[in-house]
Chain A
Amino acid sequence: MNAAAPSETAHTAPPSAESHGTKKDARPAPARRRKGSLLTALTWVVALLFFAPVAWMVLTSFKQESAAASSPPSFFFEPTLDQYRNIISSDAGPYFMNSLIATAGSTILVLILAVPAAYALSIRPIKRTQDALFFFISTKMLPIVAVIMPIYVIAGQIRMLDNILTLIILYTAMNLPIAIWMMRSFFLEVPSEVLEAASIDGASLLGTMRRVLIPMVAPGIAATALICVIFAWNEFFFALNLTAANAATAPIYLMSTMTSEGLFLAQLSAASVLASLPVVLAGWFAQKQLVRGLSMGAVK
């Protein structure tokens, strides 16, 4: 299912494939093998290059501030947990708590709304299914910046600025279209015989849903929740504009460590690691679901 079992694969040192002139037509099989190991080496190099900034961020988070911003960069240093201790003893808690509430709240709300909606667009479809699907996804393409002002004004008028509930509602609206599309693609995979059997048995709609359908699409619900969690946890624009002291989330905390305390690079790195960790772990362990979610169910 997921290929990300970090233990399974030892660090195969790229076979020493110094090319002594790669063209040896006389010996096709060894040449191909050499080409293969060259490609493997190349793949590893590129992957490590891509990962290097992340590795650097993690490395920096274990440095003292003086070592973090040194020139030339210091690769060897005495690792310290000071930065993480600083963050835990700082005021970061409420920000992360807000992120957690906004993410969990919106994801649950999304699922409550999306599962029945997807049902009405797949298993017992309404007549204008394609129109409804089109409508939902088209809202995803509306640039958020085009609606932020009215949302700000309305939220101000009903005294919902700097309120975590506002973020929950907006994150729900943001993720609902994706969730409906994804859930629909999972519902469509349920064999129709199963549903027919259930309806012959005289199970009611809700009964069928609870006892037959939901257990069958449980992996799909998990995948949908994962995508919602990723987007809600990482969201910055709404949080920046609609929250202040009470409802600010982890991305806002990250930003504030940079601006208010000047450049404490090691601490900023530690904060970045902590803020990114939940989504990174979730994504690592659900790579397959990630693909399906990112393409809104179009790619399996």
Chain B
Amino acid sequence: MTTTTTRYADNRSTEEVQRQKTAERAEGWRRRAPLLPALIFVIICTQIPFLLTIWYSLRSRNLLRPEGEQFVGLSNFSDIFLDSTFRSAALNSVLITFGCVFVALLLGLGLALLLDRPFAGRGVVRTLLITPFLIMPVAGAMLWSISMFNPSYGLVNWMIGLVGIPPVDWTSQYPLFSIVVALVWQWTPFMMLLLLAGLQSQQRDVLEAASMDGASTWDTFRFVTLPHLRFYIELSVLLGVIYVVNTFDHIYLMTAGGPGTASANLPFYIYQRAFLGFDIGQSAAMGVVTVIATIIISLLALRLIFRGLNAKEQS
């Protein structure tokens, strides 16, 4: 795409070619110079720690026993695959991430469709709807675990009490469900905003033509709107996955991974092993595994974002 290779004809003198090359190199550096500070900064802050993580993952190291550090090859990795808590944390990560993204996407799509029509107070409704996303996640997590889900005075139990359902201790009986509810509440506005932007970028005349031709609302949605939305849906799912898979605040504050380790996801379990168990080697190995898993998802996401980007730049 950006490879603009310049070939020189043979009949030029070598001196001229040399001068040309020097000039080109200087120009290349002039272009690169503004980028370098940011590039170096990011490399130092992200790549060096990650290389260290890989290094740690190959060693046995426990901060409580500093003398016992040694190279252990891949044994940290084989240990964590035998660790049933690691497996359940990985499963929880998948359940929380996809549960949240899927439900938030459906709700977000519904809300986006509702908002994509003129009605009284649309601006206010949109403002109300995006607020959960703007609330500090720590505040949101505590709001749900205490004000909403508290067994004795939480709003949720009061509401189900109105229809005669006995109180439930949500965060201990249904920890994953409670976390997913709080996350869906936070992430639905995100999905809604992206999908609404998608809906509003539709060309009105196409929709009008469809309805002129006698297409029903549902047919128009299925055959015109949905294909148009595809890019936006994929983008919101993949961005959602990338953000939600790193969920830590809600788990830390709502259930602390409990009861036991029933609701720990990978970030929380790795955190526990590192900062409460001081087991650097194993937590690093888990980190590496998480990164590999994330890379697979990310590659999909990146390809998608680039596709959208290039399509936009060509138009």
Q: Is B246 an interface residue (CB 8 A)?
A: yes
A-B contact pairs, 28 of them (CB 8 A): A12-B120, A36-B117, A46-B110, A117-B35, A120-B31, A126-B28, A130-B2, A134-B306, A140-B242, A141-B298, A142-B291, A145-B270, A146-B290, A147-B53, A149-B280, A152-B274, A152-B275, A154-B49, A172-B45, A236-B249, A251-B138, A272-B139, A283-B130, A284-B127, A287-B127, A287-B130, A299-B197, A300-B197
Q: Is B86 an interface residue (CB 8 A)?
A: no
> Which residues from A are CB-within-8-Å of B301?
141
Whether B46 lies near A50 (C-beta < 8 A) is: no
Q: Is B131 an interface residue (CB 8 A)?
A: yes
Q: Is A250 an interface residue (CB 8 A)?
A: yes
B271-299 residues at the A interface, CB under 8 angstroms: 271, 274-275, 280, 283-284, 287-288, 290-291, 294-295, 297-298
Chain A interface mostly? helix
Q: Is B302 an interface residue (CB 8 A)?
A: yes
A180-225 residues at the B interface, CB under 8 angstroms: 180, 188
> Which residues from A are CB-within-8-Å of B117?
36, 39
Q: Is A71 an interface residue (CB 8 A)?
A: yes
Residue A60 contacts which of B133, B147, B253, B283 (CB distance < 8 angstroms)? B147
Whether B127 lies near A4 (C-beta < 8 A) is: yes
Task: Report A's interface with B, CB cutoff 8 A.
Answer: 2-6, 8-12, 36, 39-40, 42-44, 46-48, 50-51, 53-54, 56-57, 60, 69-73, 113-114, 116-117, 119-121, 124-130, 132-154, 169-170, 172-173, 176-177, 180, 188, 230, 233-234, 236-237, 240-241, 250-251, 254-255, 258, 263, 265, 268-269, 272, 275-276, 279-280, 282-284, 287, 290-291, 294-300
> Which residues from A are CB-within-8-Å of B246?
143-145
Whether A139 lies near B46 (C-beta < 8 A) is: yes
In the assembly, what is the distance between CA of A255 and CA of B39, in Å? 35
Whether B197 lies near A291 (C-beta < 8 A) is: yes
Whether B128 lies near A48 (C-beta < 8 A) is: yes
Residue B111 contacts which of A46, A54, A290 (CB distance < 8 angstroms)? A46
Whether A141 lies near B139 (C-beta < 8 A) is: no
Name the residue on A nearest B284 (C-beta). Answer: A149
- Interface size for B (C-beta < 8 A) is 107
Whether B245 lies near A149 (C-beta < 8 A) is: no
Q: Using an 8 Å CB-CB cutoff, how does the interface string of B16-37 with A read, 1 for contact, 0 for none?
A: 0000000000001001111101
Q: Is B77 an interface residue (CB 8 A)?
A: no
In the assembly, what is the distance between CA of A284 and CA of B123, in Å? 10
Chain B interface mostly? helix
Whether A146 lies near B53 (C-beta < 8 A) is: yes
Q: Shortest beta-carbon distance, A175 to chain B, in Å? A: 11
Interface-facing stretch out of B172-180, B187-195, B218-226: B187-195
> Which residues from A are CB-within-8-Å of B270?
145-146
Q: Is B257 an interface residue (CB 8 A)?
A: no
> Which residues from B are CB-within-8-Å of A176?
38, 41-42
